[in-house]
């Protein structure tokens, strides 16, 4: 994977070219002070939050009991954390959100904060104000990776290109996870399609996979093939209830992009893809391989769930940190010895 491929997958690069085939969006330059705030590794204090309105407690059904007064601390030693404010940027974001219908899906040049949805009050990436966006961004490892290591998997030794970071605001649409698909293109040929939400079983996908495959292939040939900047790339699409296909995003062809139901080894070599092509005997010979979750028995937990837990817990559960596992076993053994004694 080359750095140029990563650059070409930035939202602001491909959006003007495919604007009529994707969701309406607005691109705003990200000021340096906002970037610094997002990378600030301190206590999470969300900027852009509006003051909460004060509410007077009303009497309920003639209940004249006096309400308990809340005593606030006036200790001079108490430190009040305040977030920096960005009035000009906040105004632009507010205007953009309003023009997009009042609710947006936020992302940076490449990534959306999908790993941080759990921290939002609505457990969603649906944002209505700047504070909603900041909360998700400051809690997301995906966003941090965009800001600090955008070329981490690139194998060329050329200097890192200069980047202009941007806040992408996309009009909020209620998308059904079972209608999203990831498509892999090699040498301008669509070679494979994967169910996007591979952790769940969707009966309609299994029943309609040949039709879905042909529909996406037709869309690719008409709107994308030979029009994107590279020969090798990945793109995500959404197929609505009317059978129309919409572009969701473009990603580099490499490890930085989740290969879902494939491995990058087989996508690069193409050998196993050719062997599996017999699965689609009913499909056209030139149709890409299509994979989906075929049974409830193969349903898995969401890969984003691990981001809710402390990293130590995740390492222990997956066995990735041997030393932590040994320490845990020693601790358990000591507890057992104490109980026996």
Please give the pLDDT value at position 270: 77
Kindly report the pTM of this predicted structure.
Answer: 0.78
Please give the pLDDT value at position 85: 87
Please give the pLDDT value at position 53: 43
Which parts of the chain sit beneath pLDDT 70?
43-45, 47-81, 272-285, 296-328, 332, 337-341
Q: 226 CB contacts (<8 Å, ≥6 apart)?
A: 188
Distance of CA 124 to the CA centre of its chain: 11
Instruction: Return d(Cα 255, Cα 168) in angstroms, integer.
Output: 23
- Residue 169 pairs in a beta bridge with 26, 106
Q: 46 CB contacts (<8 Å, ≥6 apart)?
A: 83, 131, 134, 135, 138
Q: From residue 70, how far is each of 53, 58, 78, 181 by CA, in Å?
A: 17, 16, 17, 52
- Residue 185 pairs in a beta bridge with 190, 233
Instruction: Return d(Cα 221, Cα 319) in angstroms, integer.
Output: 44
- The answer to whether 185 touches 253, Cβ cutoff 8 Å, is yes
- The answer to whether 33 touches 84, Cβ cutoff 8 Å, is yes
Instruction: Return d(Cα 96, Cα 231) in angstroms, integer.
Output: 34
């Amino acid at each position: 994977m080359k750095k140029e491929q990563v650059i070409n997958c930035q939202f602001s690069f491909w959006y003007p070219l495919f604007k009529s085939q994707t969701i309406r969006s607005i691109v705003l330059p990200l000021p340096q002070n906002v970037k610094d705030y997002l990378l600030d590794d301190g206590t999470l204090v969300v900027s852009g939050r509006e003051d909460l309105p004060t509410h007077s407690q009303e009497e309920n059904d003639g209940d004249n009991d006096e309400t308990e007064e809340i005593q606030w601390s006036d200790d001079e030693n108490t430190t009040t954390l305040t977030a920096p404010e960005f009035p000009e940027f906040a105004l632009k974001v507010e205007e953009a959100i309003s023009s997009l219908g009042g609710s947006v899906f936020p992302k940076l040049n490449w990534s959306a904060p999908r790993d941080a949805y759990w921290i939002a009050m609505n457990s969603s990436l649906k944002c209505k104000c700047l504070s909603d966006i900041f909360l998700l961004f400051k809690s997301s490892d995906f966003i941090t990776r965009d800001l600090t290591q955008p070329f981490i998997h690139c194998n060329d030794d050329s200097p890192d290109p200069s980047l202009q970071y941007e806040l992408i605001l996309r009009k909020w649409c209620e998308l059904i996870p079972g209608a999203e698909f990831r498509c892999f293109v090699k040498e301008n040929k669509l070679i494979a399609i994967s169910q996007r939400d591979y952790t769940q079983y969707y009966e309609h996908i299994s029943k309609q996979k040949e039709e879905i495959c042909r529909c996406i292939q037709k869309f690719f040939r008409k709107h994308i093939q030979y029009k994107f900047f590279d020969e090798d790339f990945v793109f995500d699409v959404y197929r609505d209830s009317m059978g129309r296909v919409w572009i969701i995003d473009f990603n580099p062809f490499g490890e930085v992009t989740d290969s879902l139901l494939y491995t990058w080894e087989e996508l690069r070599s193409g050998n196993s893809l050719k062997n599996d092509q017999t699965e689609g005997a009913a499909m056209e010979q030139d149709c890409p391989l299509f994979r989906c979750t075929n049974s409830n028995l193969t349903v898995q937990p969401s890969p984003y769930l691990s981001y809710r837990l402390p990293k130590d817990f995740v390492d222990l559960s997956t066995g990735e940190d041997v030393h932590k596992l040994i320490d845990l076993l020693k601790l358990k053994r000591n507890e057992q010895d104490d109980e026996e004694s």
